[in-house]
Amino acid sequence: MQAWEEKVLEREEGREEGRKEGRDEGILLGTGRSIEELLKELGPVPEKLHKRILEEKDLETLNAWLKLAARASSVEDFCFLLDSREKM
């Protein structure tokens, strides 16, 4: 394989990796926004909680939080459940 062909392949691999990272970031952001939308139905979301949700980069954790938000009866209830879950 010639050097220019290798560079083209490397560039394509880099683009695909970039696309995957973009998709993953979009899924994280969308899940975080879904959590906040559920919580906003229950009351105002404190800035500290907003930041915590946006800074979370583990999709499994965010999915668990999404389920928790769906079951919570208030924002305070969500925070309590979240804190007690993390202490386990």
Domain locations along the chain: 3-86
pLDDT number for residue 88: 54
Is residue 19 scored above 90 in pLDDT? Answer: no
Closest by alpha carbon to 63, among 87, 88, 9, 27? 27
Q: Considering the entire predicted model, what is its pTM? A: 0.79
pLDDT number for residue 17: 84
Could you tell me the end-to-end alpha-carbon distance of the chain, in angstroms, rounded to an integer?
Answer: 55
Is residue 6 scored above 80 in pLDDT? Answer: no
Closest by alpha carbon to 83, among 45, 52, 51? 52
- Per-residue pLDDT reduced to its tens digit, 27-76: 999 999 999 999 999 999 999 999 999 999 999 999 999 999 999 999 99
